[in-house]
A and B are shown apart, each in its own frame.
Chain A
Amino acid sequence: MARSAPCWTAAAAVETLRWRRFDEAWFAFDPRSGQTHFLNHTAFSVLQLLGAAPRSVDALAAAFCAAHAAQPDPDLPGVLEDTLRVMDALGLATPLP
Chain B
Amino acid sequence: MSAPTTVQELSPTVLRRRCAEGLALMVGPFVVRLHSRAALLAENLLRYYPHVPLAREQGFADAVITLKPPLWRWPGRRGWTLALEDGLPFTEFPARALLAHLEWTINWCIASRAQHYLMLHAAVLERDGLALVLPGEPGAGKSTLCAWLMLHGWRLLSDEFGLLRPQALRFDSLPRPIPLKNDSIGVIANSCPTARFGPAIDGTRKGRVAHLLPPAVHLQRMGETARPRWVVFPHYGADSAPAAQALHPAECFAALTQHAFNYALLGATGFETVAALTGAVDAWRLRYASLPDAARCIDELCGLRAAA
Is B93 located at the chain interface by the 8 A CB criterion? no
Q: Tell me which of B248, B253, B264, B268 contacts A27 (CB under 8 A).
A: B253
CB pair B250 A25 closer than 8 Å? yes
Return the chain A residue nearest B257 by Cβ: A36
Chain A interface residue bracket vs B? 10 to 19
CB pair B268 A18 closer than 8 Å? yes
CB pair B267 A23 closer than 8 Å? no
Is A29 located at the chain interface by the 8 A CB criterion? yes
Residues of the B chain whose Cβ atoms lie less than 8 Å from the Cβ of A22: 248-250, 253, 278
Q: A20-B275, A38-B254 are in contact. Are A31 and B267 (CB under 8 A)?
A: yes
Is A97 located at the chain interface by the 8 A CB criterion? no
Is B300 located at the chain interface by the 8 A CB criterion? no
CB pair B249 A27 closer than 8 Å? no
Is A74 located at the chain interface by the 8 A CB criterion? no
Cα distance A22–B254 in the bound complex, in angstroms: 11
Residues of the B chain whose Cβ atoms lie less than 8 Å from the Cβ of A25: 248-250
Residues of the B chain whose Cβ atoms lie less than 8 Å from the Cβ of A23: 248-250
Name, among B250, B254, B264, the residue most crowded by chain A CB atoms within 10 Å (CB to CB): B250
Distance in Å: Cβ of A65 to nearest Cβ of chain B: 25
Q: Which of B258-308 contact A (CB under 8 A)?
A: 264, 267-268, 271-272, 275, 278
Cα distance A93–B278 in the bound complex, in angstroms: 28
CB pair A20 B253 closer than 8 Å? yes
CB pair A34 B264 closer than 8 Å? yes
Cα distance A27–B250 in the bound complex, in angstroms: 8
Residues of the B chain whose Cβ atoms lie less than 8 Å from the Cβ of A36: 257, 271
Residues of the A chain whose Cβ atoms lie less than 8 Å from the Cβ of B249: 22-23, 25
Contact with B along A15-50 (1 / 0, CB 8 A): 000101011010101010010101000000000000
| A contact residues vs B (CB 8 Å cutoff) | 18, 20, 22-23, 25, 27, 29, 31, 34, 36, 38
For the A-B complex with A22-B253, A31-B267 known, give 18 more contacts whose Cβ atoms are closer than 8 Å: A18-B268, A18-B271, A22-B248, A22-B250, A22-B278, A23-B248, A25-B248, A25-B249, A27-B250, A27-B253, A27-B254, A27-B275, A29-B267, A29-B268, A31-B268, A34-B264, A34-B267, A36-B271
